[in-house]
Structure 1
Amino acid sequence: MTTSTAGSRPDQLSAEAQRRRTFAVISHPDAGKSTLTEALVLHAKAITEAGAIHGKAGRRSTVSDWMEMEKARGISITSTALQFPYVTKTGSTCVINLLDTPGHADFSEDTYRVLTAVDSAVMLIDAAKGLEPQTLKLFQVCRHRRIPIITVINKWDRPGRYALELIDEIQTRIGLKPTPLTWPVGIAGDFKGVLDRRTGNYIRFTRTAGGATAAPEEHIDPDRAHDAAGVDWDTAVEESELLSADDSDFDPETFRNCTSSPVLFTSAALNFGVNQLLDVLAELAPPPSGALDAEGHRREATARFSAFVFKVQAGMDSAHRDRIAYARVCSGTFERGDVLTHAATGKPFVTKYAQTVFGQQRSTLDTAWPGDVIGLANAQALRPGDTLYSEVPVVYPPIPSFSPEYFAVARGKDPSKHKQFRKGIEQLDQEGVVQVLRSDRRGEQAPVLAAVGPMQFEVASHRMASEFGAAITLESLPYTVARICDADGAEVLQRLASVEVLTRSDGVLLAVFSTKWRLENVARENPDVTLRSLVAAGDN
């Protein structure tokens, strides 16, 4: 069996791990997450221009939004991995592994999977709207997983709230101490630049046509800043002094302990403040340090190779009906062609078709290090939550399934396409696009699709028609609550009204109820039946 780490010197392995920054961008829908992702890639010089004009009203598509539904709707509905180098202001090179997540609440499960694979997160806040419900839910996930958070207040080029008001809201509502590293010069809607609170300099931005290229910036020392920005500079200095008096200067220890968050102000659409975010990520975001296994023991980044599959995605290339398993390297060195062990089955897994992923674009990958995301093509055996390792066995914690709240029976429109129908449903289930539930009563040709949000059904319908050539109809079911039960309980529950027991693809029995009140009545009237909760969307 090929061993990867054996071919790397420990000092080389450690150095490569220290260069990696693996993070996710989280936000409420429409906070500018995909636009910020694009701006980060632009400023790192991985692309030369942000987006191409697409769709209505000149809306841009981005490298991270590649699915047709994403382009048409202008929202992210699937997570995407982007890897690119970034040369810092000190001349060192970081390798950025950026995971763009779907912002819509209907795709919380996909975002949760991504958050199992990162070392830090960028929490994006709309300057006009402040903290919104989906942002709060994702913050709670980060807090539970002890993921350090960098806060970015975006859209400062548009009218919005006062900066001090937003800072106060962050501390009041989520208990995280905001420690701004930059402070806006000019109110929301009149974004001139930022005060760099660590150097005291004024960083003045210049607009470019449509924000398609990196915005030029001029660093002006404090003695000349008033002449350049007038009263707006004076206001920024006064407010910065208030922050210092309130003990809101950056503290690296509290950031690493997840009790404070550095804050930056940006306009992703204009590419203002993006360089500063890249530098902060390179300087302050934690590098990979290994991962906790299923028993709570840490496997250090310098140990033998191991990786954790957090996502499976098909349909990325219509010309090739392959699928990609995204795996986060937790420890050791990966080399293409390594024969690894699939922990779930104990079987060997050959990595001949390993790729690095940049949105929809893919290229052959020869070597990867801790923190990197590798794409394993045609990985039919892999599922989200699976572990791969070399030599020294390890199993990482599984990814829990969220509790579905929407249920619908799927049927193929064309009976002659039953093979395509079965293959498509199986594929969507394996990727985690929806949960697929079955019962003897309904049969194989009428599976029940279960989802956290109704938009998952739209994605499933679109992909069944476009990728598998098996258009489906969906018949809504009157269920809103699901609980795990055992075989004995299933016999009792199947005889009750407004209750149905279905089998998930992993063999788990799910009892579904019309309402939470029906669930409570059933539980009260049948105390011997054991019902266990699933993870709810947005729970820790």
Structure 2
Amino acid sequence: MNNIRNFSIIAHIDHGKSTLADRMIQLCNMVSAREFKDQLLDNMDIERERGITIKSQTICLPYTADDGKQYFLNLVDTPGHVDFSYEVSRALTSCEGALLLIDAAQGVEAQTLANLYLAMENDLEIIPVINKIDLPSADPETVALQIDEDLGLDSDLVQFCSAKVGTGVKDILEAIVKNLPPPEGDPDAPLQALIFDATYDPFRGTIISVRIINGTVRPGDIIRFMSNGKEYKVEETGLFKFEKEPQKKLTAGQVGYILAGIKTVEDTRPGDTITLKSNPCPEPLPGFREVQQVVFSSIYPISTDDYEDLAAALEKLKLNDAALTFEKDSSAALGFGFRCGFLGLLHLEVIQERLEREFDISLILTVPSVQYIFHLSDGSRKIVDNPAHFPDPAHIDKIEEPFIKATILIPEKYMGVVMTLCMDRRGENTSFHYPMPGRIEFQCELPLSEVIYDFYDRLKSVTQGYGSFDYEMLDHRKSDLVKLDILVNGEVVDALSQLVHRNNARARGLVACEVLKKEIPRQMFKIAIQAAIGGTIIARTNVSAMRKDVTAKCYGGISQENGNCLKSRKPEKKG
């Protein structure tokens, strides 16, 4: 165990986690120059194009240190986006230490802080690493001062590197060996294994990524999942080298994989504890919770012939993504589709892109929504995420919507516009402090429904790209919500309905009407597009007809004369 180090790389999105992992893999001679490609640990095209990690990966790096000993460094790569913060927390639980990666040009960002707090909650040893020191705009001395004063970390431990060109990566590996503690655990105790990830293999079933806390697991053992009580026979155990490498056993302190013929990823929940049927551990490891979907949207195929293909595609995606939920849905305007639940907007975008690319299905998505709690006058509660299920307003006692605590890091000069943006989005309980001269950490409690609409885009716009954003869920609070219906020529289009705050209803209605006006093609008759709350029209626009309506402004005798003129021309048109 003394020769094992389990560590993770945590950072704000796009600060160079995957690039640093690539250099470490190359330095440990895990891959030849011919086989190397950027972002080795990222499997999906979307990850490579966007430069983000969506699905966390693990690899065991054999490293010979300067003292001549060989160490096994288990790198647990984590997603950088706030949508996957629970996966990050479980990955950190499987480690003893973490590299906190900070961009030398951008400094400490919102998710840097959030991930640091997650690491501290798990009592991890933290090594600060300042990356991208080769950039012309890099200011590593100022960032080192930030680490010391703002984060409260030991400045003597700070490592300087450029992951892109490979400068300083060898020093980081030496720091991991010297400064991170080896794992603890008893190989002879009852088995306690933490699940931190799972992927689906169509030939072998679910591959479970585990950290063995106590005990030993071998092929042939009967294992039990403590959250649902399901039991399976272990077929194979092994380590994550560049290819999976089978081992005779996994013992305390090791990070590896277990194959047990599991048919679905849903049975293997991140944070769950695995034990042996024959000698179970007395209690599960702490920290497990069910993954909660926070954003909901309906997905419809543009062609109704693609409905069966969409159903099959969602089933296949769910095999590899247990956080995705879906159920059948239908719309009078768009036909049959599915109501899906996502961890956040990035998760929604990824699923949408994968459906369109991998399965070649053209899609229509409804406006993203969140879960509201309706307290009805008969004392019952109803959870609604679809505007189509909005109860009768006469029976509603009160409505509660989810709130988040947003942390925004910005340069000082953008304070005014960001505060205005938060106030426009119904922000409350705002506070701020100066982590270092020239930068402000701004905290605000916001309704989640306002954040998923266009908040992040507006924040990046008003801060010219310098604002960073992170959030955590708080609670549900009373709110004055209404159902906003969109009518086209007097007919309600159910798929376009939204649940919005009463104060924002007219603004949202106007936006929806204007967008529809651009999208609906002109006809030989005028098309009225209206936004309504109940029976009250609050916004309207028209798609004008292709021919001029000569009777519109006429009255009296002139109107009758023009009407007769039109009637007389009808036979000519038919001819």
TM range (shorter): 0.5 to 0.7
1:431, distance to aligned residue in structure 2 (A) = 4.9
The residue aligned with 2:165 is: 270
Of residues 25, 28, 31, the one that matches 2:9 is: 25
Of residues 10, 16, 28, the one that matches 1:44 is: 28
Contact conserved, 1:403 with 1:482, CA < 8 A, in 2?
A: no
Contact conserved, 2:19 with 2:163, CA < 8 A, in 1?
A: yes
Of residues 478, 486, 509, the one that matches 1:521 is: 478
The residue aligned with 1:281 is: 176
Shift in CA distance, 439/491, structure 1 to aligned 2, threshold 3 Å? farther
Q: Cα RMSD (Å) of the superposition? A: 3.9
Paired residues in the alignment total 395
- 1:314 equivalent to 2:200? Answer yes
- 1:473 equivalent to 2:363? Answer yes
Contact conserved, 2:7 with 2:74, CA < 8 A, in 1?
A: yes
Shift in CA distance, 463/281, structure 1 to aligned 2, threshold 3 Å? same
**Paired residue secondary structure (2:382):** helix
- 1:103 equivalent to 2:103? Answer no
Residues in 2 aligned to 1:303 and 1:449: alpha-carbon distance in whole angstroms: 42
The residue aligned with 1:177 is: 153
Contact conserved, 1:113 with 1:310, CA < 8 A, in 2?
A: yes
Shift in CA distance, 349/413, structure 1 to aligned 2, threshold 3 Å? farther
Residues in 1 aligned to 2:153 and 2:327: alpha-carbon distance in whole angstroms: 47
Of residues 105, 111, 128, the one that matches 1:151 is: 128
Matching residue's letter, 1:264: Q
Of residues 331, 351, 358, the one that matches 2:214 is: 331
Residues in 2 aligned to 1:276 and 1:75: alpha-carbon distance in whole angstroms: 25
The residue aligned with 1:369 is: 251
Matching residue's letter, 2:78: T
Of residues 307, 315, 325, the one that matches 1:436 is: 325
Shift in CA distance, 89/397, structure 1 to aligned 2, threshold 3 Å? same
Contact conserved, 2:14 with 2:51, CA < 8 A, in 1?
A: no
1:332, distance to aligned residue in structure 2 (A) = 1.9
Residues in 2 aligned to 1:305 and 1:313: alpha-carbon distance in whole angstroms: 22
The residue aligned with 2:109 is: 132
Determine what percentage of the aligned residue pairs are the same residue: 25
Give ranges in structure 2 of 5+ residues lacking alignment.
402-446, 452-474, 482-575
Contact conserved, 1:340 with 1:351, CA < 8 A, in 2?
A: yes
**Paired residue secondary structure (1:177):** coil
Residues in 2 aligned to 1:303 and 1:484: alpha-carbon distance in whole angstroms: 49
More divergent stretch after superposition (428-437 vs 156-165)? 428-437
Q: 1:136-168: CA deviations, max 9, x gaps?
A: 111111122222211111111222444432222
**Paired residue secondary structure (1:276):** helix
1:172, distance to aligned residue in structure 2 (A) = 2.7
1:389, distance to aligned residue in structure 2 (A) = 0.9
Contact conserved, 2:200 with 2:319, CA < 8 A, in 1?
A: no
Matching residue's letter, 2:77: D
1:288, distance to aligned residue in structure 2 (A) = 1.8
The residue aligned with 1:185 is: none
Alignment of 1:377-456 (within 5 A): 377=259, 378-379=261-262, 380=264, 381-390=267-276, 391-393=279-281, 394-400=283-289, 404-411=293-300, 421-422=310-311, 424-426=313-315, 428-429=317-318, 431-432=320-321, 434-436=323-325, 438=327, 446-456=337-347
Residues in 2 aligned to 1:415 and 1:99: alpha-carbon distance in whole angstroms: 42
1:473, distance to aligned residue in structure 2 (A) = 2.7
The residue aligned with 2:58 is: 81
1:358, distance to aligned residue in structure 2 (A) = 3.8
Shift in CA distance, 420/116, structure 1 to aligned 2, threshold 3 Å? farther
Larger of the two Rg values belongs to structure = 2
1:454, distance to aligned residue in structure 2 (A) = 2.2
1:352, distance to aligned residue in structure 2 (A) = 0.5
1:46, distance to aligned residue in structure 2 (A) = 2.0
Shift in CA distance, 454/522, structure 1 to aligned 2, threshold 3 Å? closer
1:39, distance to aligned residue in structure 2 (A) = 1.1
Matching residue's letter, 1:43: L
Alignment of 1:236-275 (within 5 A): 262-275=157-170
Contact conserved, 2:329 with 2:337, CA < 8 A, in 1?
A: no
Q: 1:249-280: CA deviations, max 9, x gaps?
A: xxxxxxxxxxxxx2111111221111111111
1:490, distance to aligned residue in structure 2 (A) = 1.7
Matching residue's letter, 1:490: K
Q: 1:482-521: CA deviations, max 9, x gaps?
A: 67999942289962669799xxxxxxxxxx98559x9633
Quick check: which one's strand share is greater?
A: 2
Residues in 2 aligned to 1:266 and 1:515: alpha-carbon distance in whole angstroms: 39
Shift in CA distance, 423/397, structure 1 to aligned 2, threshold 3 Å? farther
- 1:304 equivalent to 2:213? Answer no
The residue aligned with 2:40 is: 63
**Paired residue secondary structure (1:61):** coil
- 1:489 equivalent to 2:381? Answer yes
Shift in CA distance, 263/347, structure 1 to aligned 2, threshold 3 Å? same
- 1:121 equivalent to 2:17? Answer no
Contact conserved, 1:289 with 1:301, CA < 8 A, in 2?
A: no
1:433, distance to aligned residue in structure 2 (A) = 6.0
Per chain length, whose mean CA-contact separation is higher, i.e. which structure has more relative contact order (CA < 8 Å, sep 6+)?
Answer: 1
Residues in 2 aligned to 1:132 and 1:392: alpha-carbon distance in whole angstroms: 43
Give ranges in structure 1 of 5+ residues lacking alignment.
1-16, 53-59, 181-261, 291-299, 502-511, 525-540
